[in-house]
Amino acid sequence: MTNNASIRICIPVCQQQIEALATDWERAAKIADVVELRLDCTESSVDELARSVGELLSQGSHPTILTLRAAEQGGQRQLSQSERIKFWNQQQPSGSQLIDIELDLAETWMNDPPPGLDWSRVICSHHDFTGVPKNLKEIYQQLRATPARIVKVAVKATDATDCLPIFKLLDHARSAGRELIAIAMGNAGIATRILGPARGAFLTYGAAHDEKATAPGQITAEQLTTLYRIRTINTESAIYGLVGTQVMHSLSPHMHNAAFEHEKLDAVYLPFEVHDVEQFIRRMVHPRMRELDWDLKGLSITAPHKSAVMSTLDWIEPEAQEIGAVNTVVSEGDRLLGYNTDATGLIAPLLRKFQSLNGMKVAVIGAGGVARAAVWGLRQHGAVVTLYVRDQDKARLLAEELGVACQTLSLKPFTGYDILLNATPLGSLGERVQQTPATKEQLGGVQLAYDLVYNPIETEFLRQAKLAGCDTLGGLEMLIAQAALQFQLWTGRPAPTQLMTIAAFQAST
């Protein structure tokens, strides 16, 4: 597929000093289609800023957006409307320059425009960092009523379903022939940043690098182009994704997008931060109910939705029914099908190491969907399993369903177990990264410590296990094995497992 020339990536530049702003502008111009100069980040006076920016722009011709954002709209400094008007009165955008102003300024200019104002170079924008306003359509109509050529709406998403009103605005603007920038900010809104341009958005924003993001959920320009291949996405592209509450550190997008590219599939895999999985499936996924016109083909399901998602599906394979958890959803016709590839994926590395698990004593820590798959898979191979949990009342039903003993997790040693398996999120990248379900004092005598957390590769649990003299196994092998099975379920093709392995290792180092 050829690149989509209409897709534009804008890199915002935010610096306190004009000199640093100029340096970053020059760097960003080498990789971005458009550079936004966030002038509200600077410490300069309005007059000094106007003079310096004029001199700066005279030195280059790269497409540039000038933004002097009001504080109540996300600006980095307090500027009155009169100060903003004073600045813009001294600017005459030309060539490939655009200016981004708020609605209050646009409405003022409709009655008293600055000298030489060219509305074809104006973006009229509205930002809401608290959520999706109920009157979003009304706000859009107010923005659209100005003479500004381009309208911009940015709202805060707290769940992936908050992307829906943004996608609907894009569809409306495209049918009306209006140029619109529409973004759902925050991790839950990333789908709008990646898919927006293919659905008609004038541009999308990407940071120069992770530390330079100027809005919540703003991923890098490099991620947009290389990881998500944004320039090849179109309205016919198949959509896949990871559904959970902590999805931003996942390696799954790296593996699956690399596999799609290798297999020359017109498809993209996205992270979906979802808190209400039933609403997400109903409104955005299920072929008979979804409110969005897109070709969603399949999903990976992660914590905490592996059991809850089952009530939304039309058919579930017997193994997943027995486990009580689904980690893979396939959209087939007008039905959603559920599978579990976790059990096979997590057992595969153990069989490579031991050949047989029959009679081995295994302690599994956790009570979520992965723990269910682990217990089921281990028992299928003859292991003697004991479940360890913090809240025994909560896990008692699970233990009874799976036919295993259940113990309360404490500081007692795991003496007598061949394998200790961590099926909790403890140790995963983020606020839990320093946590471990067991210490070296508890691990003495355990033959193998198996951590299903895969990012980081070496968790605190695995470090404690090594100090105790245990053999160790990380979760990356399991991740790759279950992902390969997912790929085959979605596409009907054998997964390029070696390529997916390389992609996962590269992304994790």
Q: Which CATH superfamily is domain 348-474 in?
A: NAD(P)-binding Rossmann-like Domain (3.40.50.720)
Name the residue among 89, 92, 29, 38 with its Cα closest to residue 61.
Answer: 29
β-pairing verdict for 335-339 and 448-451: unpaired
- What's the pLDDT at 3? 43
CATH number of 242-340+489-503: 3.40.50.10860
To 10 degrees, the CA torsion angle through 164, 283, 250, 387? 150
Name the residue among 15, 40, 43 with its Cα closest to residue 28.
Answer: 15
Name the residue among 187, 188, 225 with its Cα closest to residue 206.
Answer: 225
Q: 384: burial class by Cβ within 10 Å (0-12, 13-18, 19+)?
A: middle
- What's the pLDDT at 401? 85
What does the pLDDT look like over 304-328, one tens digit per residue? 999 999 999 999 999 999 999 999 9
Residue recorded with tokens 């498809």: 267
Would the CATH topology of 242-340+489-503 be identical to that of 348-474? yes
- What's the pLDDT at 212? 63
Give the tokens for residue 508. 């994790």
* Cis upstream peptide for 165 (omega within 30°): no
137 phi-psi bin (left φ>0, alpha ψ -120 to 50, beta other): alpha
Name the residue among 142, 45, 119 with its Cα closest to residue 86.
Answer: 45
Is position 152 annotated as part of the catalytic site? no
Neighbours of 78 (CB within 10 A): 10
**Domain edges within the chain:** 9-235, 242-340+489-503, 348-474
Which of 306, 361, 394, 440 is the catalytic position? 306
Name the residue among 206, 168, 177, 178 with its Cα closest to residue 190.
Answer: 206
Cα 42 to Cα 45, 55, 129, 338, 417: the distances in Å are 9, 16, 21, 52, 61
CB 23 within 8 A of CB 212: no
Hey, which CATH number is domain 9-235, 1.10.10.10, 3.20.20.70, 3.40.190.10, 3.40.1160.10? 3.20.20.70
Per-10-residue mean pLDDT of the chain, 509 residues long, equals 69 93 92 95 90 84 92 90 90 83 95 90 96 97 97 98 98 96 97 97 92 77 97 97 94 98 98 98 98 98 96 98 96 98 97 96 95 96 95 80 90 95 94 95 96 95 97 96 98 98 93
What does the pLDDT look like over 203-238, one tens digit per residue? 999 999 866 667 777 899 999 999 999 999 999 999
To 10 degrees, the CA torsion angle through 318, 322, 328, 332? 30
Cα 382 to Cα 114, 364, 375, 378: the distances in Å are 79, 15, 11, 7
Write the single-letter amino acid at 233: I
DSSP designation for 201:
B
CB 384 within 8 A of CB 361: yes
Element (H, E) at 296: strand 295-301
CA angle at residue 392 from 387 to 393, to 5 degrees? 135
To 10 degrees, the CA torsion angle through 137, 139, 145, 149? -90
